[in-house]
Structure 1
Amino acid sequence: MSIGTKLFMLLLWIGALFGIGITIFSRGFLLNRLEIPEKSLCVGDEDAGQAQEGARQLCGEHRRSVVERLDDDTVLFVLGDHGMTRTGDHGGDSKDEIAAALFIYSNAILHQETIDMKAVRIASQIDLVPTLSLLLGVPIPFSNLGSIIPELFGLVPLSNQPKLTGMNNWPPHLQSLYNKVGALWTNAHQVNRYLQAYSKVSDEFPRGQFNLLQNFFQEAEIAVQELLQSSAFDESRTLALLQKSEQVYLDYLNQVKEMCRSMWARFDLTLIILGLAVVIGTCLISYVLLMHNYNFGNRAQLDSALGTLLKIIAVSIVACVLIGVTMSLTIPSLHVYSAVLVLTVPAVGSLLNAVVWIAFVSAEMKVSYFLRFWTYPLKTVMAVILTFAYAACLTSNSFVINEGYVAAFLVHSLHLACVCSVGSVFVQSKNSKETTRKKTKTEKSRDIGHFLTHPVTVYILLAVAFHLCIRFSSLFLACREEQNPCRESELLRSLGAFSDDTGSYRNYRYFMSVASLAVIPASLTFWLNKQGNLNGGAAPMLSVAYALPIATVCICLNWGLQALPQKMLDNLPAWQQVLLPRTAYIMLFVAFISVLWNPLCIFLIPREDPKKKTLQVEYPGEVESVVPKIFNHLKTTWKRSSRQGKQPSDEDQDEHREASPPVVYGLATVFSACWLLVSATVALLVALLLGDGLAPVVLTMLLQMVVYLELYAVIRRQQLAPLEALPDLHHIATYQVPWYAIAAWGFMSSQFFFATGHHATISSIRFDSAFIGFHGDFPSYLYFIPGALITINTFASQIVFAVALPLLLIWPFTRGKMFDRKKDEDRKGELGLHVSNRELRVAFFQIILAYLLYNGIQLVGAMVSAAIHRRHLMVWKIFAPRFVFQGVSFLVVMVILILLYLLLVKIDRAISHWLQVLFQDAS
């Protein structure tokens, strides 16, 4: 088994561990969750008054003024949504935080005092729904599970409750009790209808407990029927029946509430902690593996160590799967958790065995190697601090609400630190004689062109362009419900949402979107043509020349079609409404297939035979080059004719062979060309799903990505310049991507998640993207299509940055030479990556593992936040959705990175095959 295959298997294992950890945590945190848990409310004067004394007096005066204006048919409710501790904390699950006061007042008498009346009455928030509904005379909501507050219905008979003859002659306490039973009867019937309807579509209710509740309900109904059918009035018997009915109805409603809470408001702390432990352990394993890969100088030793680790993992998984299945089958109490056991036991077992193996291998390594952060560059230390700070701040609801602005600020900060780190290079360049001489000549000539093309000026302009991209992307941030005041950009609305009187704005916006989208294939064509990757007729070259432009035109025309009035659009045939986006899908799919079929964008001009050499002028338009070419041709012909009749020596053959080497176009950018093509294809797909308004954001995202790659290549080359005296160490360092680059890539991914109009809320999901190019009538076996389209729309930035991640490794091999005025001695370009293909696979594994580690740290932060705040009032609005989005984003990125590893292997093997054929032809 090759080292590349071993690294791929190890990558699959790490990805599976992350996925299992997310699944286990979700099972414990979101177990059968259908309703929001309601906090208890303790009604009593001793729980009132959360504010300070001054605010308390103002509230008292306000309530007093309201009470003075009440009439007899008005009821005043004063309540708080939560309590507060003595230190001011709120939102937790302590008694002081979940308890609040409920004050109900009316000028009329609301209830009749009894001897057994309690001083403190306990109710729930959900009890307010049926209580207010019946008091207002409106139906109780169908899905309500709350109980009424019976004390409020003693003197207010309901219009729909059963009437008894002669009831007006009853004593007041019986009439009051009968009114309460009537309200409870209405409440119980509503709850029973909901349970019956729910049980028909779901089997979640425990059958025994559900039947017991039905018996309770029937018992109360029998008592009411006996009361209604009684012919003679017997006060003691009537009182007993009413009290029995009241108690049975109350027991029924309370037990229904408890049953549903036990199912829907349940948190399994064991699974929560276990899932969190698996994810944290996987992050630690990833970090240690990264350190080991950096430390292994002998790749044979690394190959042997990986083989041993994979064997240990395989044996552990097989043994633990058997243990998990056996436990779930033999222990009846664990049968419910059989799926969890089958996932958890292998994950934990393989993780523990891997930890033991790493501890054994690490015996020869110093522990201080993993902890010596002070030896790292300042920008790396800053990136580590910002990464963990970003994850830790996810526990703050204010941070999650304003996360879009914070992510942009972090990108600003980290990039500024990286840009400033190159300042020392500028200072050193001033001391060199050559630079001083050039500076003097520039000052004398005052050549503005030389100033604009100076490396320092270009570098500063790139840094400014990067920050302008960040500023521009912030204009497209969407507003959350909690952000007030906040005004969204009009670009987040589709063209069809505007009225007809905004024709000029619609035209301006449409042409701006078309221009932004057209820049993407045009820039790709220009760059690949400049690098020589578009010479020839290979499949990827044809895709760049035809498939991507056709897809771009179809996307733009589809935006124009969607801008038509809805009535006009509905009058079009169904096939015309979906023709353009489907054509775009097909062209983009063809571009993907072309890369998989032949990922090499290179063109070979075979070696010329010296005996058949003729004069060839490739660019006849360049007149100044014609005369030298003719002279060289005559000179070569004269030398050849002077040696006719003689046996050519080996030296002459070598001279002829060296004089006419084969010409290969695009070989220096063989890796980046493929990845730029894939990235541009994904960007066009993302632009189609995001809509016309966000086309400038997609272009800005790609522009910021390219500018960052240029700046990073400069920084990386200057960082590795001192190692040129040590070739072996310099060779190893060129295959490593530092953490600050990984962190900046991840921060930019988060930045554009919000810049594309998304938030970690369910309401921000654009479900209409599932119908772009489709009518919505999907058969059951094609349900994955709308799900995939919605996922691509929601996590567009994560997908684009994950696809372009290998450029962090590839870009410095050919770019970033603006400060190097010397003649480049290394003419291999990106082909040097293939020369050391083992190093390439290890380096690509490292960059994937590092990016997974970054996303894993953010995932741990979201999981810890959701676990800590599981009883928080905002858990289902802020913290739980944030975890869900982070978890799905991680899984999407993980799948893409695994596929990218396979694509890298495909490209590397294609280059090997191409070189083998080339050498065979040469021989």
Structure 2
Amino acid sequence: MGHRVLAALLVLHAAALYLFTTGFFLTRFEVSDLSSCQASPSDINAVPTHLRGGHEEDLPSSDDGASEGCWMPRRFRRVVFVVIDALRFDFAATGSSAQQSSFYSDRLPILNETLISEPEHALLLKFVADPPTMTMQRLKGLTTGSLPTFLDIKDNMAASSQIVEDNLLRQLRAQQRGVVFMGDDTWDSLYAREFTRKFAFDSFNVKDLHSVDRGVTKHLFPELQKPDWDLLIAHFLGVDHVGHTHGPSSVFMAEKLDEMNGVLKKLLQTLKEMPDGDDVLLAVLGDHGMSADGNHGGASDEETGAALFLYSKAALVATGREDDSEDAKEMKKYAERILDSSREVPQVDLVPTLALLSGLPIPFGNLGSVIPSLFFVPPTSTERGGSSALSAFQSLNRALRLNLDQVRRYLFRYSSASKLPERAYDQLERIFVDIKRIEDQLEQVQEGDTFSKADLPLLLRLHEDLAKQQHHYLREALSLGRSIWTQFDLCSMGWGMVLLAWSFFIGATSTRLVSASGEGNSWSPPLSVVVLVGGLLFFCPAGINLPLLPAAPLSRGLVAASCAGLIDMTWYLLARRQIRATRSIRSPATSGRTLFSSVSAAGVVAALIVILHALALLSNSYIVAEGNVMQFLSATTGFFLLTCAQRLTDHRSAATGAALAFIFATRLSSALEPPNIIKATATLGRTFAPLTAIAVLAVGSSVQTVKYTGHKLSLMSRLILVSSTASYLVCAIFWAASPIQVSFWRMWLPRIVYLIFLGTLVCLLVRVLRQPKYQSGNELSRHEHLLLLWQLVPAFMLVLGPTSPLSVLCLVAQCLSFSFIVTCCRSASPTTFGDITPWVLLWASCSYQAFFTSGHANTFTSLQNAAGFVGFDTFNFYIAGALLGLNTFGCFALAVLALPWLNWRQHQPQSSGVNTLLAFPAYFSLNALVSTLFVALQRRHLMVWAIFAPKFIFDGVVLLVTESLLLLLLAPFSNQESIKSHRLE
């Protein structure tokens, strides 16, 4: 009945994680109100109710606004918006680091040349993105000015709905202004209705470095000559794809950046030659950066630090006139001060900046601030005797006040739907009172438009103070938004934690209390009760709030159904414990036992390792260094194995050698550079030699297992063994031929490996299923499980990359040596080492170390997306997802397939002790429980989104993956249990 318990636990864990996730990752409340030219942002109640429908047709058009500007006079009629995906700041800046790679350093010289030759017309800023740094979330921020939500990351790999919040494109269309787009098709999924013309290209094939960029370049320059656009968007993808496929430090990156430099050079020249070039603003920007291995999605400086380059044929920023007049000196002093204060800006700042420069209303939900240096510009002609600096300050403060009023209006509207923290909101209001005080002082000094020359220094000081305070308000508002971007549903979170803890108790105790010997009645899920209770609460009207239950019908139903199932399982386990307690009076040897039933050395060590790992999850420093923690725990396991080997009388030398091999493999795997598919080449030492060793081990261990178990090598097993050997040969050919870039080798060699593994799996399952239900001997033999494992190894290595064989060889060596020592110990001393549970827990810990040594971590940046394209040039959601899953979680699949080696003895029924294997997912269940509790307690911690939340997600996924894999492994034994129950009847 082990498979039934495991299936029930899998469903319960999925329900618990779903409940916690829906409570923890609720998305930010989206306000659908729209800004308009007719509604002043200073009037909080000025937005009409009928303008809150979320459609651009609801916005009143304004011909006057289109020609003159809306909230303030526009400076530019047209904007060229060029996105170079993953344009990291140091790709564009010159000499920003002494240790820059020559592959991307000084590869965009046209930007620096323009900055030097035309300082008043160009500006380069560090453009800081808010995590998560995924393209879709960045595009939302770049057009709405709003902050991303953590779980929006899920939309990055699937079709997404259009944006409903107010945005720049919607405001342009409301004024009958044209928008033309070309490039990454993510834009099309977000703004399909906003474009006058569009040329979208597939963005998912990261191995295609040129198609999208060539398509953009093909349409960009002809579209520039057409008069019907006001916003032209060009989104290049090549830099991002090079990063994902080859990393930033590669010759491909150098070539791609050289190509982008040529495009930008031609674009700048074209803008200078345009008749209306003074009315065009060019914005070249990166939506995010990239890490050292070319990935993004996290919160490191390399991933969030992008570049923003602005250029116009007309004067863009004030640098001060080159003369000796007091006005010029004064203007230059303040201009340099303003410019230096805004060298690094958040990405959301671009939205209000472009809106006001283009004569548009700032989108309603924007939290960004205008870039000060772009508005500290005096009128083209200053009255005789006037002050350029004062005129520039007046322009800047007008823009800042419009921006402030818009943000304040948004916060007021947001607070009516979702309560804001009173302390932070009061702080904003105190800053606003200071702003009003400074404005009153300015009115007193400057009555009307006249003032004495003696008052000029005071006016300039007051204007500077006003600008600082208004900018301070906007930055505090942005910080407030970041602190409340997620609302927590404590009820759903609490039920998720309760169900996780309860199911962990069930899984831990069932490893010993649930027997596989066929004694008494076997447990089966009470489906009728679960469906009835869950259904009643699911169909309960959503308006009825039941005490202590989530408001959502689905969540209510899950809580009720899960509790009904858990109560039944708990009742059954307590009954089993009572039965064993009664029998223990007659036979103490059969007394009921808990997770560590016998006080043994293995039990003590396993408990120590499990507890130490769980405690390490309560520290962000240990979570960051979890790979080192697991190396230490695996090494501890190795020395314990060495101690066990020394206590043996038989096979002591062989067991000692196996323990030393385990320790050596553990140390070597941690010392090696983790395999990474995007920046690896095949070598003799890391690829072909270990690949040959793995193939020899595969054949040798399979033959030895057949001799040990007494099985005969069937015709099917022989064919599988031959095909497995062929898979290793195909891997070698694929990696040796990879520099040739021949389509057949690149596409079909990996597919051959995949097909061999799938064919083996199908053949073994068919053999099991075709046996009569009550006929024994239909379970998979030990060597057939072994053959399936050896078939999975080449597929796993393919998606890890050509440097993976040595790391995988270490994992295989750990597996073989561990299972050999366990077999020897359990055979030599059944009373001391017979309990399999501690050994299973130790093996689970070792398998978790392999997750880190195979090049992964509990961060989204560690996902090797290029693995989804091994053997395929086009993107397929399911195939790419399966290959990425194999790349990320393949080590756990190998560990699960190795479990029967620990549990089987010579001439022992294979289903004996199957339920004790439940200790394997129990280890990961405890990790998920601790991570969930900690992330709930630290939900307001500074590092919650950078460290704790990704750790929780990975632990939850690992738990579900291991339980699913173990359920597939135990499926053949379900028929064996039916045989026993049938015989008892």
Contact 1:551 1:584 in 2 (8 A): yes
The one of 790, 793, 797 aligned to 1:680:
790
Structure 1 residues 280, 759: CA separation in 2 closer, same or farther (over 3 Å shift)? same
- Counterpart secondary structure, 1:692: coil
* One-letter code aligned to 1:556: A
- Counterpart secondary structure, 2:781: helix
TM-superposed CA distance for 1:535, in Å, is 5.6
TM-superposed CA distance for 1:190, in Å, is 11
Residues 1:326 and 2:540 are matched in the alignment: yes
Q: Rg larger in 1 or in 2?
A: 1
> Bigger shift: 703-712 or 378-387?
378-387
Contact 1:859 1:886 in 2 (8 A): yes
> Partners of 2:846 and 2:690 in 1: how far apart?
22
The one of 514, 527, 534 aligned to 1:293:
514
> Partners of 2:795 and 2:872 in 1: how far apart?
15
Structure 1 residues 260, 721: CA separation in 2 closer, same or farther (over 3 Å shift)? closer
Contact 1:145 1:257 in 2 (8 A): no
Residues 1:346 and 2:561 are matched in the alignment: yes
TM-superposed CA distance for 1:417, in Å, is 3.1
Q: Deviations over 1:504-523 (max 9, x none)?
A: x9455443244244334433
Aligned pairs (5 A) from 1:127-206: 130=349, 146-148=367-369, 158-159=375-376, 179-185=396-402
In the alignment, what sits opposite 1:785? 879
Structure 1 residues 421, 455: CA separation in 2 closer, same or farther (over 3 Å shift)? closer
TM-superposed CA distance for 1:416, in Å, is 2.8
> Partners of 2:750 and 2:510 in 1: how far apart?
44
The one of 940, 945, 952 aligned to 1:876:
945
Structure 1 residues 261, 712: CA separation in 2 closer, same or farther (over 3 Å shift)? same
Contact 1:524 1:677 in 2 (8 A): no
TM-superposed CA distance for 1:207, in Å, is 12
> Bigger shift: 522-531 or 321-330?
522-531
Residues 1:21 and 2:238 are matched in the alignment: no
* One-letter code aligned to 2:561: P
Contact 1:129 1:144 in 2 (8 A): no
TM-superposed CA distance for 1:278, in Å, is 0.9
Aligned pairs (5 A) from 1:520-535: 520-527=697-704, 530=707
Q: Deviations over 1:432-491 (max 9, x none)?
A: xxxxxxxxxxxxxxxxxxxxxx7332222222122111122112354xxxxxxxxxxxx6
> Partners of 1:463 and 1:866 in 2: how far apart?
37
In the alignment, what sits opposite 1:852? 921
Q: Deviations over 1:94-130 (max 9, x none)?
A: xxxxxxxxxxxxx999999xxxxxxxxxxxx998985
Residues 1:597 and 2:793 are matched in the alignment: no
Contact 1:477 1:754 in 2 (8 A): no
The one of 607, 613, 619 aligned to 1:396:
619
The one of 816, 819, 822 aligned to 1:712:
822
Structure 1 residues 354, 761: CA separation in 2 closer, same or farther (over 3 Å shift)? same
The one of 708, 714, 735 aligned to 1:559:
735
In the alignment, what sits opposite 1:473? 669
Q: Deviations over 1:626-651 (max 9, x none)?
A: xxxxxxxxxxxxxxxxxxxxxxxxxx
> Partners of 1:269 and 1:519 in 2: how far apart?
55
* One-letter code aligned to 2:756: M
> Partners of 1:557 and 1:423 in 2: how far apart?
43
Contact 2:369 2:403 in 1 (8 A): no
Superposition RMSD in Å = 5.3
> Partners of 1:912 and 1:678 in 2: how far apart?
29
> Partners of 2:914 and 2:467 in 1: how far apart?
71
> Partners of 1:411 and 1:549 in 2: how far apart?
30
> Partners of 2:823 and 2:855 in 1: how far apart?
30
> Partners of 1:784 and 1:207 in 2: how far apart?
42
TM-superposed CA distance for 1:857, in Å, is 0.7
> Partners of 2:510 and 2:863 in 1: how far apart?
36
Question: Which runs of no fewer than 5 residues in structure 2 stay unpaired?
Answer: 31-129, 131-328, 335-343, 419-445, 452-458, 583-590, 772-776
* One-letter code aligned to 1:455: H
> Partners of 2:831 and 2:14 in 1: how far apart?
41
Residues 1:751 and 2:849 are matched in the alignment: yes
The TM-score with structure 2 as length reference comes to 0.54
The TM-score with structure 1 as length reference comes to 0.57
In the alignment, what sits opposite 2:972? 903
Contact 1:391 1:860 in 2 (8 A): no
Aligned pairs (5 A) from 1:779-858: 783-810=877-904, 813-814=905-906, 829-830=907-908, 832-833=909-910, 840=912, 843-847=913-917, 849-858=918-927
> Partners of 2:416 and 2:686 in 1: how far apart?
59
> Bigger shift: 262-271 or 791-800?
262-271
Question: Which runs of no fewer than 5 residues in structure 1 stay unpaired?
Answer: 36-80, 82-106, 113-124, 196-203, 210-232, 427-453, 479-490, 499-504, 603-666, 723-732, 815-828, 914-923
TM-superposed CA distance for 1:853, in Å, is 1.2
> Partners of 2:29 and 2:478 in 1: how far apart?
13
TM-superposed CA distance for 1:543, in Å, is 1.5
Structure 1 residues 585, 280: CA separation in 2 closer, same or farther (over 3 Å shift)? same
TM-superposed CA distance for 1:707, in Å, is 1.1
The one of 423, 448, 468 aligned to 1:235:
448
Q: Deviations over 1:65-105 (max 9, x none)?
A: xxxxxxxxxxxxxxxx9xxxxxxxxxxxxxxxxxxxxxxxx
TM-superposed CA distance for 1:382, in Å, is 2.6
Q: Deviations over 1:835-881 (max 9, x none)?
A: xx6xx3xx21331x221211111111221232233222222222221
TM-superposed CA distance for 1:351, in Å, is 2.4
* One-letter code aligned to 1:746: A
Structure 1 residues 894, 161: CA separation in 2 closer, same or farther (over 3 Å shift)? farther
Structure 1 residues 456, 157: CA separation in 2 closer, same or farther (over 3 Å shift)? closer
> Partners of 2:450 and 2:747 in 1: how far apart?
73
> Partners of 2:782 and 2:803 in 1: how far apart?
29
TM-superposed CA distance for 1:381, in Å, is 2.2
- Counterpart secondary structure, 1:777: coil
- Counterpart secondary structure, 2:758: helix
* One-letter code aligned to 2:5: L
Structure 1 residues 693, 131: CA separation in 2 closer, same or farther (over 3 Å shift)? closer
In the alignment, what sits opposite 2:69? none
> Partners of 2:29 and 2:692 in 1: how far apart?
46
Aligned pairs (5 A) from 1:656-671: 671=781
TM-superposed CA distance for 1:892, in Å, is 0.9
Structure 1 residues 477, 577: CA separation in 2 closer, same or farther (over 3 Å shift)? closer
> Partners of 1:379 and 1:391 in 2: how far apart?
18
The one of 337, 341, 353 aligned to 2:552:
337
Residues 1:515 and 2:613 are matched in the alignment: no
> Partners of 2:363 and 2:695 in 1: how far apart?
52
Percent sequence identity is 19
Aligned pairs (5 A) from 1:615-654: none
> Partners of 2:575 and 2:768 in 1: how far apart?
41
TM-superposed CA distance for 1:398, in Å, is 2.0
In the alignment, what sits opposite 1:460? 656
Residues 1:416 and 2:639 are matched in the alignment: yes
Contact 1:462 1:711 in 2 (8 A): yes
Q: Deviations over 1:757-794 (max 9, x none)?
A: 1111111111111001111233xxxx221111101101
- Counterpart secondary structure, 1:873: coil
Which structure: greater helix fraction?
1
Structure 1 residues 28, 464: CA separation in 2 closer, same or farther (over 3 Å shift)? same
Contact 1:128 1:148 in 2 (8 A): no
In the alignment, what sits opposite 2:602? 379
TM-superposed CA distance for 1:740, in Å, is 1.8
The one of 699, 716, 734 aligned to 1:539:
716
TM-superposed CA distance for 1:236, in Å, is 9.4
TM-superposed CA distance for 1:746, in Å, is 0.8
